[in-house]
Structures are given as C-alpha cells and as structure tokens.
Structure 1
Amino acid sequence: MRGNSHISGKSTARKNALRGGALVALAAMVVAAVETGSAMAGEDKGADTQVSAAQAAGLGAKEKLVKRDVIKDADGTTHTRYDRTYAGMPVVGGDLIVHRAPSGKVTTTKASDHRIAVKTTVAAEDATEGADATALAAAKSEKVTGAKAGKSTRIVWASEGKPRLALRTVVHGTQKDGTPSELHVITDAESGKKLASLEENRGFLTAGQSKKAAAAAARTKAAAEEGTGASQYSGDVKLTTTKEGNGYTLTDSERGKGQTTDLGNKEDDTGKGEPFTDEDNKWGGKRQTAAVDAHYGAETTWDYYKSVHKRNGIKDDGKGALSRVHYGKGYVNAFWDDASFAMTYGDGEGDKKPLTSLDVAAHEMSHGVTSATANLNYEGESGGLNEATSDIFATDVEFTAKNKKDAGDYLIGEQIDINGDGSPLRYMDKPSKDKQSLDYWSEDAGNVDVHYSSGIANHFFYLLSEGSGKKKIGDVEYDSPTKDGSKVKGIGRDKAAKIWYKALTAYMTSTTDYKDARTATLKAADDLFGKDSTESKAVAAAWTGVNVK
C-alpha cells in the first residue's frame, strides 16, 4: 500500500534515486556494478561468489551479477539473491537466487528462464526520439498530472516474453488522489512500442478508493528514553525517544535511529520534515497525535520483524526508517518511499483521520521488506503478491502487538474508516466482500488492479492460518469458503507467516506469479517443517482452495 502525491522540482532532479519496487533496486545495483566491476567475485569466501554464481546460473560472457541479499538457514543452507546486468545494462526481470546446501549442492531460482541475448545494444534513433512522447502519453492515460519525463536509459526487458533491448523513461507527476507519481515507462528500443508502465509509488489505497473516501467525508550516542503517547488508534502507548537539549524528540536510538517528523501539510515527499519536540516526554494532542501513532507503528513493525523473523530492520541492515506525518491537506493515503527510506502519511478526509493506524504502518513498511528481498514487480500477478505480502505481514504485526485497543484481526484498514461507514478496506477471509477483490485465481487475475488481485493470496493466508468455514476470532466473525468446496484445516497464523516470509526471502523473484508462489511456499514449508509434513500438506490444500493448482 503506497500513496501518491505531488512531485516537486527537487524530486525530479533526483530522478536517478528511484523509489522502491522492481526497477529501483536494479538502478542502484547497476551503479554499484559499474563502480566495483568484478571486484565482488572475491567477496564472501566460503559462500557463493559472483563467478561461481554466474557459472551455476549458466550466464553468458556479457552478463554480470550484483549481489543484493543473503539468507542463511539454520542448517547452513544459503540463498543468495542477485540482480543481473547485460553489457553493463540492467536486466529488468533477470534477477535470480542461488541456493547452496551444506553438502555443496547448488540450485537456482530465476525470474526468467530465457537466455539473455539481444541482437544489438544500440537503440533505434526513432525509438529514442519518441520515448519521451510515449512515456508522457502513458502518464496521460493513467491520469498523471504535471508529468515531466526524465532522460531515457537503456535496459534489457526480461520480465515478459523473450528478452529485448528497451528504453526506460521515468515520468514524475501527481496521481489522481494527490500521491506523488513515479511512472517507469518501458518502450521497445527497436519499434518504439510501449511494453509496460510501472508505478513505483504504492499507496495503501487505489486512487479510486482514495477519491471515494474523500467523497464519503541526535545524537550519535544519545541514550534512549522512554516516553508515553496518547494515540488516536492504539490507546496509550510507550515510545522510545531521545533527550535533545531541554526536551525530547521522536528519535528511536534503540531501533536504528528511526525518527518521526512533521511535514507541515506540505506536498513535499523529498524533505525530511521538522522534528517533533516535547518538554516532558508525554506525547499527544494537536499535531502530535498522528506522530504518536506513526512512531508506535514504526517501533512495533521493527520489533515484529526482529522477534518473529530475526530481521534487523526493513533492509536487515539495522537502519531505522523515517516516518513523516501531516503530508498535504486532506490527503487520503500513505506510502513507502525506498529512495528516502521513509514512510509518509496523509491526514485523511478533512484532516481528521490520519492514515497512521498500525496495520497501515506495517503494510507500508513491509513494501520496503519486499523491495529488499523478492522485489516483486508491481504489475500483474506479481503486483498482487506484492500487495498481499504487505497485508499478510500487517495482519501478523497487529496480532503480535497484542494491543488492547487495536486487537488483531483479518481485516485491513478497519480503523481509518476509508469507506465512511465503519467497514474495513479489505477482508482476508472472503476478499470479495469489498465488492472488488478476488477470492480465487483465474486467468484474468493479472489484469485487475493489484490491490484487488491481492485477495487471492490474502485468502490463501487466511485459509492456511485459520481454515475454511465459520469461525469467531476475538470479536470478529469470519466465514471463509473454498473454490471447490473442500475443507481446509488451518495450521495457525504463526506458522503461516513464517512460511510466507521464508518463501518471500528465499524463493520468490521479481516475476513470481501465483503458480510460482504455490511452489515457493511449498518449498518453504518443506524447509521449515519437513517434506510431507502436516504444514506442507496444508499449504497445498490452501492454494487449491483459492484455485491455484
């Protein structure tokens, strides 16, 4: 769930510092590849090197790998994730994972099984000259206003079909609901035909939902201090702050120096914002309330990944995120920005319902986790899996937090009242209750908005956790059906979340679709609980229940 907002000139100037998503990590990694050349081949002795990984993947002479992430299992198995370049150009959809067992056996998982080879690395003159016009036309068709196209760059497009030379043009502007837009438009470098357009700013809501809601009405060694906050959604909470001069700031020195700041209702998604300060370390009221919820959400999400998945921050690098509240006026959305490593929250319709509830915060920051790991393309079925991943972890964060005012449930956005009638934004037990999300997979699943195709994986997660049929959990009644009428027995949310995290970090790639997700989660369940285990059988049954066979 990411948001959309105005892109300032300053934002356009940093067009090379792309936001999170399938194309963002590649852009950064290509820079690293150019700077370091083949130096990486000598890193990590005893683990996969660039050279051995390339050999295992069967790469050609013009291809190079850039390491992005490493996951190590308890038994010593390593899963090393790489992005790929071809003749110095990023290969979008060329990422792969090299799995090395303790025995030395090496296997690979690739985003594309096609051999990467293009007949030329020179773009046709007509295609180059027309790339800006194509990109701006794509932005217009998606109702992006104030669109400005940056300089086109060459890539190899491998996300769909046979790999080909392409041009990537980044268009900055504003989406329909006021969220900043960073649209990556891919055009064929020979014909000039548009191949894809990917929105890199991923809001909690679709633009349509946001519009509907509107209509409905530090010091480096500073010691950590414990403050208290009166939040809007989670009641009275404890906050980790930092002593600054005669007062305190919302800077969390225990969690990578994460900070919460005030954007002052400006539409500036590139600025850091002004620090919140308080003399007695008791937070709340006026502009501080939204900051309390945001700071609490960041702390709780950090603690969840640390305690449940042994992950040290969003990128697993110990770095805390920036949380920026009071973005724009009447802005009904929230979004995660990889480039600034920041969460941004609007104040909602009439500036009365900030989108700072715990599940919104956890959902958005989980987009950062996905970007740092599987980097699922934000389109088609992989885009639905990207959105579902954020819903799945947001749900588990909410349950794990055990907050009395915001008890765990399988409802998404139930507190922020987007629809104006007290109903949640999404339902995991039967996603179609929102009148738009998909309960089951069909061949058309990749053609609907990713916020709605996410329903398939959300439904899978509910079935795997709780099983099919009627059930009351806390104060909420659920009734989850299956496509074929089969009965599914749940294995519990804790196990289900661990299976999904394992699949995301060890087996999913940028192009993973629902069929691939079934394979990835089965591998993850086998790794965690053993082949033919009750858990593995439950994974298979839950996928069958949502028509992924």
Structure 2
Amino acid sequence: MRSLSKKQRISALAASAALVVAGVTAGTATAGPADEGSTAKAGAQAAPMSAAQKTQAIKKADSASAKAADAKALGLGSKEKLQVRDVIKNQDGATHVRYERTFDGMPVLGGDMVVHKSKSGEHTGVTKSTKADIKVSTKGVSKAEKPATPKAKGSKAPRQIVFALTGKPVLAWETVKGGTQKSGAPSELHVITDAKSGKKLFEFQGIHEADGTGASQYSGEVKLSTDGADGKFTLSDKSRGGSKTTNLENGESGDGKDFTDEDNKWGTGKPDDPQTAAVDAHYGAQQTWDFFKEEFKREGIAGDGKGAPSRVHYGDNYVNAFWDDSCFCMTYGDGEGNKKPLTSLDVAAHEMSHGVTSTTAKLVYAGESGGLNEATSDIFAAATEFHAPENKEDVADFHVGEEIDINGDGTPLRYMDKPSKDGNSLDEWSDKAGDVDVHYSSGIANHWFFLMSMGSGKSEKNGVEYDSPTSDGSTIEGIGITKAQQIWFKALTENMTANTDYKAAREATVKASNDLFGADSAETKAVEAAWTAVAVK
C-alpha cells in the first residue's frame, strides 16, 4: 500500500434510487424513511438457514455428482475442477452455488462463479468473474523457478496459480509478503507475477484496515450477552456462535486474554478502564451479527453459525482497527495516547462486513472492485446503525466514523450524501476510478446507496441534515434504506464476483432488484436512475 500523509491516513477508514430522473419529478426530494418496510417478493429473498442446514447444503453442492453436473453444464475442460465456497437458498427454493475453480490443481484467481438454479435444480444462469476460457500451459515453467520468499514475519511461500482477474488467463505466482504496513497494521500483501516473464501483474492487500488518530468511545448503557456465573463472567456470547471479546494487553499476536468480571457490569465509559473498549467492541459484534441475521437470515459473518472474535488493546498507541481473514477476527487499537480506542459501532460493522464480502463475492481489494469492497462495508455499517436499538449518544446516520472524531473537529471521516466533502472521495465515476485509493473510489457506490435510500437534494433523518447532488442534474426520490440494503446484499451474495467493477455492479444490482421487486418496478427504475446519477452507465 502506498504511503499516506496524516490527513490521508485519517480519511482512509476501512472500508456503497430512486424512481425518477429530472423532468418527471420536480423540487427537493423527500427523505426516504430509513426504517421503511420492504415490499420485496418473499420468494426472492434469502431463506433462513441454521448452521446445520448450511453445512448440509454445502455438502450436497460439493458432492462429486453435483459438481460434475455443473461442470458439464458450464462446458468446463477436463483440467478444471470446482470447489464450493457458499450456497444461498431463496425462499422460493432457488439456489445460488458459489464456486472457486482450479485448473490442473492450481487455484484460479478470478475463476470464481455463481451457478443459479431453480427449485427443481434446473440451471437458470451463471455469473462469472471471467468469461475467458481457462487454458494455460506449464511447459517451460518449473516450480523451482518460483520467486524468493520474503523474510518478513507473516510471509508465505509463493504458490503457482492461474491469474484470470484481468485479460487473458496466464500462469502466475502468488506471493504473500508479511510484515507491517506504514500505518502500523499487519501486512498481507498478495503480489502476482507472471510465471514466465517475472513481470508483476497485480497486487492487493489482505488486511482490511481502518486508519485514524482515535476517538473516545461512549454509546451509553448497552445490553451485552455474556457467559459465566457470579464471580466470573466473561465476554463470551454463546447465543451468537460463541463470539467473544478478549484483551491483547498491548500485544500484537495471539488470541488475547479473557476479560472477567464479578458482577456482570462492565466498564465505566472511560478509556482508562480496560473494559470500556471491550464493551463497545462486544456491542458492535452483537449488533452486526443481529443485523445480518434479522435482515438477511445470515447466521454469522460467514453464514456458518460461528462467531467472529474481537480483540481489543492491540499494540501501543495504535491508531487503527482492522479485519483479518486469516483469524476471521476483528482487532482494535487504543488510539492516540492509548485513550481513544477505535471501537464505535460503525467501525465494528464496517470491518466485520469485510468478512461477509470475503466469504461471498470476495471482491479483490484493489482497483474498482476494491472500491466496491470498501463501499460494501460502509453501506452495511450505516445499515447496522439504523437497525440497532435507538442510541441518543450515536444516532443512526449516513456518515462514517463521526463518533471517533479522528479529524479533531467533530466532522465524519466520510459522507455518503456527498463523498467529496472529505476532500478525497469520489462523488461519481470516471475512467480514472480504478486508479484511486479504494477508500476514496468507494464514494461512488456510497453515493449511489445514499440516493437509493434518501434521494437527492436536501433531506433530514434523526436530526442529521444532508444535501446530495447528482452528476447529471437529475432529481432522485429515495426508496428507503430497507429496500436499498436488500438490493445490495442480494447483488453482493448472488451476482458479484472477485473482479466486479462499477459497470458490473450496476448490472448486478439491477438483476437483484428485478428478482426482488420486478423488472418494471419502481425500485428497479430507482436502481438505474441512481447509478446514472453517479455517472455509472
């Protein structure tokens, strides 16, 4: 990752409409109610699946006969094999099987696909990362010629892969470089090099971090799910897959030490009490779990019924928080002077949503797909805030990181109504979007989501005022956050793949809206109008 100035680091917190366009509706758009119910077709929405049902569905899809049938239907070559990563089942019985692909035993980066089937098992379509045929030759390339393994802590030996994220699939090496990023976060930089020429083809960061300078945390009195009995309670949540929050005690590795408490009353609301950061982190994990379960029937971040650990008090004066796929966990630093832990609800929901992306579309963290990855986390962070119990200390809004006050002047890190207000993010798409830092190119989808939810022009919700422009001067009327988040989730989990760009994201959300509300519905017209309003055509 490139070096960032202090101001840029502040703005890089990790981490997307309407019915009509100008001429049809005049005047200021009214605010779409964020808590508006949805009229989406029940059959097109995800069906609830217990952990056992999810396991059984994956096992069935992963059977040799099922994969052979799908491979034949897709016309795959004899050297291509499918590996099931996830299965989504809709209430009407339709299924969406997400596959990874290998070629001659090698992983294919960009070979992922989603096979769509009707209730009867009939193939109804497929969404692929690449439409190119996977045909590469290993002739003249020896495994002994692999790149040297970096010495930094956390590095991994190169593995031979087929690189198919962009252009013609080629034989390549994937090397993971460990160590520490300039921001202080751990590094898992995946570098892809051509196996024959040695030329670098691509790179992306495996650690999705939140950069900042810290802020005090206080969300008022919150309810926590804990475990234990009088004299020894722990921050373990058996009702949410065994989620737990632990204390790293300023260390930078390991699982952390259990917090314990005698009376099950945690923290003081002040950062000098080590429990306070744990309260916010544990609360954030609870609310994020509840959001995905109650809104999308997704049991856990990975959809497997298992909890994702949270670790607090990472490092010393560590002004960061990050999600790490390798431990499938969330980690929080204590901020500047160890007095401002980065544990606000939207930070927790944002980072944990990276885990949802990594187990569904797996949007590569670079270029336009990286911007969509970051936007997905901002979108679900805002949606989680609106879903959570009303909190007068932190009202639900369409801002990112407003509570942690990293800028030091009370302003948010990012604005979804007009992303450029942060000085870096993009309001609309251009052919340069793929060259912009992913935290800033995310503004395009964030803006789309705001227009979908609240509409263009001036609006207000929970006492927070917004003023959202459109690139084409159109007037957009919001349809509410409930419908908007349903469309984004369905598109992410069923129609997006590793290298989805903004044009493909438009197609994915249109398809999702067609399934949920109908091809000629007001909602689908809204999706198209909002994308046009951010210059994605």
Query: Is the contact between residue 70 and residue 78 of structure 1 (CA under 8 Å) also seen in structure 2?
Result: yes
Report what 2:467 is aligned to. 479
Report what 1:101 is aligned to. 118
**Structure 1: how far apart are the matches of 2:362 and 2:105?**
21
Offset at 1:333?
1.1
User: Residue 366 of structure 1: which of 353, 359, 362 is its match?
Assistant: 353
User: Residue 220 of structure 2: which of 220, 235, 239 is its match?
Assistant: 235
Offset at 1:336?
1.1
Deviations 1:334-384 (A, max 9, x none): 111122121100111111211100000000100000011000011100000
Is 1:390 the counterpart of 2:377? The answer is yes
Q: Which secondary structure does the structure 1 equivalent of 2:472 belong to?
A: coil
Equivalent AA in structure 2 for residue 237 of structure 1: V
Offset at 1:46?
11
Is 1:518 the counterpart of 2:534? The answer is no
Report what 1:267 is aligned to. 252
Offset at 1:122?
5.6
Q: Which secondary structure does the structure 2 equivalent of 1:298 belong to?
A: helix
Offset at 1:127?
5.2
Q: Which secondary structure does the structure 1 equivalent of 2:171 belong to?
A: strand
Where do 4+ consecutive residues of structure 1 move more than 4 Å?
Answer: 44-48, 124-127, 146-149
Q: Which runs of 5+ in 2 are unaligned?
A: 5-14, 16-56
Change (3 A) 1:444 1:241: same
User: Residue 544 of structure 1: which of 519, 532, 535 is its match?
Assistant: 532
**Structure 1: how far apart are the matches of 2:477 and 2:64?**
39
Report what 1:246 is aligned to. 231
Larger RCO: 1 or 2 (CA < 8 Å, sep 6+): 2
Change (3 A) 1:156 1:177: same
User: Residue 177 of structure 2: which of 171, 196, 216 is its match?
Assistant: 171
Is 1:495 the counterpart of 2:483? The answer is yes
Change (3 A) 1:121 1:100: farther
Offset at 1:132?
2.6
Report what 2:408 is aligned to. 420
Q: Which runs of 5+ in 1 are unaligned?
A: 5-20, 22-39, 137-145, 218-230
**Structure 1: how far apart are the matches of 2:521 and 2:59?**
39
Is 1:278 the counterpart of 2:295? The answer is no
User: Residue 159 of structure 1: which of 165, 168, 174 is its match?
Assistant: 165
**Structure 2: how far apart are the matches of 1:508 and 1:325?**
32
Deviations 1:249-277 (A, max 9, x none): 00011111111000001122xx1100000
Q: Which secondary structure does the structure 2 equivalent of 1:202 belong to?
A: strand
Is 1:186 the counterpart of 2:171? The answer is no
Query: Is the contact between residue 126 and residue 192 of structure 1 (CA under 8 Å) also seen in structure 2?
Result: no
Offset at 1:47?
12
Larger CA deviation: 304-313 vs 112-121: 112-121
Offset at 1:403?
2.0
Q: Tell me the TM-score normalized by structure 2.
A: 0.85
Query: Is the contact between residue 56 and residue 108 of structure 1 (CA under 8 Å) also seen in structure 2?
Result: no
Report what 1:64 is aligned to. 81
Query: Is the contact between residue 123 and residue 166 of structure 1 (CA under 8 Å) also seen in structure 2?
Result: no
Query: Is the contact between residue 77 and residue 102 of structure 1 (CA under 8 Å) also seen in structure 2?
Result: yes
Report what 2:104 is aligned to. 87
Report what 2:136 is aligned to. 118
Query: Is the contact between residue 41 and residue 51 of structure 1 (CA under 8 Å) also seen in structure 2?
Result: no
User: Residue 348 of structure 1: which of 317, 320, 335 is its match?
Assistant: 335
**Structure 1: how far apart are the matches of 2:59 and 2:324?**
32
**Structure 2: how far apart are the matches of 1:150 and 1:62?**
26
Offset at 1:439?
0.4
What is the aligned residue count? 477
Equivalent AA in structure 2 for residue 281 of structure 1: N
Offset at 1:101?
2.1
Change (3 A) 1:45 1:335: closer
Equivalent AA in structure 2 for residue 234 of structure 1: S
Query: Is the contact between residue 258 and residue 322 of structure 1 (CA under 8 Å) also seen in structure 2?
Result: yes
Taking only the aligned residue pairs, the percentage that are identical comes to: 60
Offset at 1:491?
0.5
Report what 2:92 is aligned to. 75
Deviations 1:274-324 (A, max 9, x none): 000000000003100000000000011111111111110011111111110
Deviations 1:507-549 (A, max 9, x none): 0000100000000000100111111100000000000000001
Report what 1:203 is aligned to. 209
Deviations 1:468-516 (A, max 9, x none): 0011212211110111101111110000001000000110000100000
CA RMSD of aligned residues (A): 2.3
**Structure 1: how far apart are the matches of 2:83 and 2:266?**
44
Report what 1:132 is aligned to. 148
**Structure 2: how far apart are the matches of 1:71 and 1:97?**
10
